[in-house]
Amino acid sequence: MTKKPLILVTNDDGITAPGIVTLVAIMKTLGDVLVVAPDSPQSGMGHAITLNSTLHIEKIRVAKGDYEAYSCSGTPADCVKIAVNEILDRKPDLCVSGINHGSNSSINVIYSGTMSAAIEAGIESIPAIGFSLLDYSWNANFEASKNYVRQIAKHVLEKGIAKNTVLNVNIPKLEKEAIKGVKICRQARANWEEKFDKRQTPYGKDYYWLTGTFVNYDEGTDTDEWALENGYISVVPVQFDLTAHHAIQQLNTWEFND
Protein backbone atom coordinates (compact mmCIF):
# COMPACT_ATOMS: atom_id res chain seq x y z
CA MET A 1 0.00 0.00 0.00
CA THR A 2 1.41 3.40 -1.03
CA LYS A 3 2.03 5.87 1.78
CA LYS A 4 0.18 9.15 1.60
CA PRO A 5 2.41 12.23 1.25
CA LEU A 6 3.28 13.83 4.57
CA ILE A 7 2.55 17.57 4.50
CA LEU A 8 3.84 20.03 7.12
CA VAL A 9 1.59 23.09 7.46
CA THR A 10 2.70 26.30 9.16
CA ASN A 11 2.18 30.08 8.94
CA ASP A 12 3.05 33.41 10.55
CA ASP A 13 -0.44 34.65 11.48
CA GLY A 14 -0.78 32.12 14.29
CA ILE A 15 -2.30 28.69 14.66
CA THR A 16 -5.88 30.00 14.99
CA ALA A 17 -5.81 32.17 11.85
CA PRO A 18 -8.53 31.43 9.26
CA GLY A 19 -5.87 31.22 6.56
CA ILE A 20 -4.14 28.21 8.09
CA VAL A 21 -7.50 26.55 8.82
CA THR A 22 -8.28 26.82 5.09
CA LEU A 23 -4.83 25.53 4.12
CA VAL A 24 -5.15 22.51 6.41
CA ALA A 25 -8.51 21.59 4.88
CA ILE A 26 -7.01 21.73 1.38
CA MET A 27 -3.89 19.74 2.28
CA LYS A 28 -5.96 17.00 3.92
CA THR A 29 -7.25 16.15 0.43
CA LEU A 30 -3.66 15.54 -0.72
CA GLY A 31 -2.01 13.70 2.17
CA ASP A 32 -1.42 13.31 5.89
CA VAL A 33 -1.12 16.66 7.64
CA LEU A 34 0.96 17.86 10.59
CA VAL A 35 0.50 21.45 11.77
CA VAL A 36 3.20 23.30 13.69
CA ALA A 37 2.47 27.01 13.85
CA PRO A 38 3.17 30.00 16.12
CA ASP A 39 0.99 30.42 19.18
CA SER A 40 0.60 34.14 18.36
CA PRO A 41 0.96 36.33 15.24
CA GLN A 42 4.52 36.58 13.92
CA SER A 43 4.05 38.73 10.81
CA GLY A 44 7.15 40.57 9.60
CA MET A 45 9.51 38.34 11.59
CA GLY A 46 11.53 37.44 8.51
CA HIS A 47 13.90 34.53 9.13
CA ALA A 48 14.34 35.19 12.85
CA ILE A 49 15.05 32.18 15.05
CA THR A 50 14.93 31.84 18.82
CA LEU A 51 18.41 31.70 20.40
CA ASN A 52 18.28 33.61 23.68
CA SER A 53 15.16 32.13 25.24
CA THR A 54 13.46 28.74 25.49
CA LEU A 55 11.04 27.28 22.97
CA HIS A 56 7.80 25.59 23.99
CA ILE A 57 5.40 23.46 21.99
CA GLU A 58 1.93 22.35 22.99
CA LYS A 59 -0.22 19.72 21.32
CA ILE A 60 -3.58 21.20 20.28
CA ARG A 61 -6.86 19.31 20.21
CA VAL A 62 -8.36 19.47 16.71
CA ALA A 63 -12.06 19.13 16.01
CA LYS A 64 -12.09 16.01 13.85
CA GLY A 65 -8.93 14.46 15.26
CA ASP A 66 -7.72 13.40 11.81
CA TYR A 67 -4.39 15.26 12.01
CA GLU A 68 -1.94 16.44 14.66
CA ALA A 69 -1.37 20.09 15.51
CA TYR A 70 1.14 21.85 17.76
CA SER A 71 1.44 25.49 18.75
CA CYS A 72 4.97 26.82 19.14
CA SER A 73 6.17 29.79 21.16
CA GLY A 74 8.75 30.68 18.51
CA THR A 75 8.93 32.16 15.04
CA PRO A 76 7.75 30.57 11.77
CA ALA A 77 11.29 29.37 11.05
CA ASP A 78 11.42 27.86 14.56
CA CYS A 79 8.20 25.97 13.80
CA VAL A 80 9.77 24.23 10.81
CA LYS A 81 13.00 23.49 12.66
CA ILE A 82 11.26 21.93 15.65
CA ALA A 83 8.83 19.98 13.47
CA VAL A 84 11.64 18.41 11.45
CA ASN A 85 14.01 17.77 14.34
CA GLU A 86 11.75 16.94 17.28
CA ILE A 87 8.20 16.05 16.25
CA LEU A 88 8.41 14.14 12.97
CA ASP A 89 10.05 10.76 12.49
CA ARG A 90 10.47 11.29 8.75
CA LYS A 91 11.04 14.25 6.48
CA PRO A 92 7.85 15.79 5.06
CA ASP A 93 7.16 15.42 1.35
CA LEU A 94 5.95 19.01 1.27
CA CYS A 95 5.84 22.08 3.51
CA VAL A 96 3.18 24.72 2.92
CA SER A 97 3.04 28.05 4.74
CA GLY A 98 0.00 30.33 4.91
CA ILE A 99 -2.47 31.14 3.68
CA ASN A 100 -1.15 34.52 4.74
CA HIS A 101 -3.56 37.37 5.41
CA GLY A 102 -1.87 39.96 3.17
CA SER A 103 0.64 40.31 0.35
CA ASN A 104 4.10 38.79 0.25
CA SER A 105 4.89 39.86 -3.31
CA SER A 106 7.99 41.69 -4.49
CA ILE A 107 10.32 42.99 -1.73
CA ASN A 108 7.88 41.81 0.96
CA VAL A 109 9.39 38.33 0.60
CA ILE A 110 12.41 39.60 2.56
CA TYR A 111 10.35 40.49 5.63
CA SER A 112 7.79 37.73 5.43
CA GLY A 113 7.47 35.17 8.20
CA THR A 114 5.26 33.13 5.88
CA MET A 115 8.01 32.85 3.28
CA SER A 116 10.75 32.38 5.85
CA ALA A 117 9.01 29.23 7.07
CA ALA A 118 8.91 27.95 3.49
CA ILE A 119 12.56 28.90 2.96
CA GLU A 120 13.57 27.11 6.17
CA ALA A 121 11.90 23.98 4.80
CA GLY A 122 13.76 24.49 1.52
CA ILE A 123 17.05 24.68 3.40
CA GLU A 124 16.12 21.27 4.84
CA SER A 125 15.64 20.00 1.23
CA ILE A 126 11.85 19.85 1.65
CA PRO A 127 9.79 21.10 -1.32
CA ALA A 128 8.01 24.18 -0.01
CA ILE A 129 5.43 26.80 -0.96
CA GLY A 130 4.33 30.02 0.69
CA PHE A 131 0.74 31.09 -0.05
CA SER A 132 -0.59 34.61 0.48
CA LEU A 133 -3.91 36.32 -0.23
CA LEU A 134 -3.91 40.07 -0.81
CA ASP A 135 -6.45 40.68 1.95
CA TYR A 136 -5.24 41.74 5.41
CA SER A 137 -8.62 41.23 7.04
CA TRP A 138 -8.89 38.50 9.69
CA ASN A 139 -12.20 37.62 8.04
CA ALA A 140 -10.69 37.37 4.54
CA ASN A 141 -12.56 35.15 2.07
CA PHE A 142 -10.28 32.32 0.90
CA GLU A 143 -12.90 30.60 -1.26
CA ALA A 144 -11.46 31.73 -4.60
CA SER A 145 -7.99 30.54 -3.54
CA LYS A 146 -8.82 26.95 -2.71
CA ASN A 147 -8.70 25.23 -6.09
CA TYR A 148 -5.52 27.06 -7.15
CA VAL A 149 -3.76 26.29 -3.86
CA ARG A 150 -4.62 22.63 -4.26
CA GLN A 151 -3.48 22.52 -7.88
CA ILE A 152 -0.12 24.17 -7.17
CA ALA A 153 0.57 21.91 -4.16
CA LYS A 154 -0.43 18.83 -6.18
CA HIS A 155 1.98 19.80 -8.97
CA VAL A 156 4.83 20.17 -6.49
CA LEU A 157 4.06 16.80 -4.89
CA GLU A 158 3.94 15.06 -8.26
CA LYS A 159 6.65 16.90 -10.21
CA GLY A 160 8.90 18.47 -7.58
CA ILE A 161 10.61 21.84 -7.90
CA ALA A 162 14.18 22.88 -8.67
CA LYS A 163 16.75 22.21 -5.96
CA ASN A 164 17.35 25.06 -3.49
CA THR A 165 14.15 26.76 -4.63
CA VAL A 166 10.78 27.44 -2.99
CA LEU A 167 7.63 28.94 -4.49
CA ASN A 168 6.16 32.28 -3.47
CA VAL A 169 2.47 32.28 -4.45
CA ASN A 170 0.34 35.43 -4.15
CA ILE A 171 -3.38 35.50 -4.86
CA PRO A 172 -5.31 38.67 -5.75
CA LYS A 173 -8.33 39.68 -3.70
CA LEU A 174 -10.93 38.79 -6.33
CA GLU A 175 -13.99 36.63 -6.74
CA LYS A 176 -13.33 33.18 -8.22
CA GLU A 177 -14.71 34.05 -11.66
CA ALA A 178 -12.54 37.20 -11.84
CA ILE A 179 -9.21 35.38 -11.41
CA LYS A 180 -7.73 34.96 -14.89
CA GLY A 181 -5.33 32.13 -14.04
CA VAL A 182 -1.76 31.58 -12.89
CA LYS A 183 1.39 33.33 -14.13
CA ILE A 184 4.97 32.26 -13.45
CA CYS A 185 6.77 35.52 -12.69
CA ARG A 186 9.88 37.21 -11.47
CA GLN A 187 9.93 39.39 -8.37
CA ALA A 188 9.18 43.01 -9.19
CA ARG A 189 11.72 45.71 -8.39
CA ALA A 190 9.77 47.59 -5.76
CA ASN A 191 10.29 48.97 -2.28
CA TRP A 192 8.71 50.69 0.68
CA GLU A 193 9.27 54.43 1.06
CA GLU A 194 9.19 54.50 4.83
CA LYS A 195 8.95 57.04 7.61
CA PHE A 196 8.45 56.92 11.35
CA ASP A 197 5.42 58.60 12.90
CA LYS A 198 6.84 60.08 16.11
CA ARG A 199 4.45 60.47 19.04
CA GLN A 200 4.60 60.98 22.80
CA THR A 201 3.09 59.16 25.74
CA PRO A 202 1.15 61.18 28.35
CA TYR A 203 4.39 61.05 30.36
CA GLY A 204 6.42 62.75 27.62
CA LYS A 205 8.28 59.69 26.37
CA ASP A 206 8.80 59.42 22.62
CA TYR A 207 7.56 56.41 20.68
CA TYR A 208 7.34 55.58 16.98
CA TRP A 209 5.02 53.87 14.47
CA LEU A 210 6.62 52.67 11.25
CA THR A 211 4.57 53.77 8.26
CA GLY A 212 5.25 53.80 4.54
CA THR A 213 4.07 53.67 0.97
CA PHE A 214 4.71 50.74 -1.35
CA VAL A 215 6.25 51.90 -4.64
CA ASN A 216 6.65 49.68 -7.70
CA TYR A 217 9.53 50.90 -9.89
CA ASP A 218 9.22 48.00 -12.32
CA GLU A 219 7.38 48.47 -15.61
CA GLY A 220 7.85 44.86 -16.73
CA THR A 221 4.85 42.70 -17.61
CA ASP A 222 6.56 39.54 -16.34
CA THR A 223 6.54 40.50 -12.64
CA ASP A 224 4.44 39.40 -9.69
CA GLU A 225 3.12 42.93 -9.20
CA TRP A 226 1.92 43.12 -12.83
CA ALA A 227 0.26 39.71 -12.57
CA LEU A 228 -1.58 40.60 -9.37
CA GLU A 229 -2.71 43.99 -10.67
CA ASN A 230 -4.07 42.30 -13.79
CA GLY A 231 -6.07 39.55 -12.10
CA TYR A 232 -3.59 36.68 -12.11
CA ILE A 233 -2.14 34.55 -9.32
CA SER A 234 1.63 35.07 -9.26
CA VAL A 235 4.09 32.22 -8.72
CA VAL A 236 7.70 33.28 -8.18
CA PRO A 237 10.47 30.70 -7.71
CA VAL A 238 12.63 32.02 -4.87
CA GLN A 239 16.20 30.94 -4.19
CA PHE A 240 17.92 31.20 -0.84
CA ASP A 241 21.46 31.34 -2.22
CA LEU A 242 21.88 35.10 -1.84
CA THR A 243 25.13 35.25 -3.82
CA ALA A 244 25.07 38.02 -6.43
CA HIS A 245 26.82 35.89 -9.04
CA HIS A 246 26.82 38.72 -11.59
CA ALA A 247 29.02 40.84 -9.28
CA ILE A 248 31.81 38.30 -8.77
CA GLN A 249 33.69 39.17 -11.97
CA GLN A 250 33.77 42.88 -11.12
CA LEU A 251 34.91 42.24 -7.53
CA ASN A 252 37.72 40.02 -8.80
CA THR A 253 39.27 43.10 -10.43
CA TRP A 254 39.90 44.64 -7.01
CA GLU A 255 43.47 44.52 -5.72
CA PHE A 256 44.15 43.84 -2.08
CA ASN A 257 47.56 44.82 -0.70
CA ASP A 258 49.07 43.78 2.63
Q: What is the pLDDT of residue 53?
A: 87
Domains and CATH numbers, the chain: 6-189+221-251 (3.40.1210.10)
Q: What is the pLDDT of residue 2?
A: 61
Amino acid found at 225:
E
Q: How far, in Å, CA of 55 to CA of 7, rounded? A: 23
Amino acid found at 113:
G
Strand partners, 169: 131, 235
Q: How far, in Å, CA of 84 to CA of 153, rounded? A: 19
Q: How far, in Å, CA of 35 to CA of 117, rounded? A: 12
* Residue 71 zone, left/alpha/beta (φ > 0; ψ -120 to 50; rest): beta
206 near 168, Cβ under 8 Å?
Answer: no
The 3-state DSSP composition of the chain as helix, strand, coil percent (nearest 5) reads 25, 30, 45
204 near 248, Cβ under 8 Å?
Answer: no
Q: What is the pLDDT of residue 135?
A: 95
The residue ranges of the chain whose pLDDT is under 50 are 1
pTM over 0.95: no
CA dihedral 61, 66, 71, 76 (to 10 degrees): -160
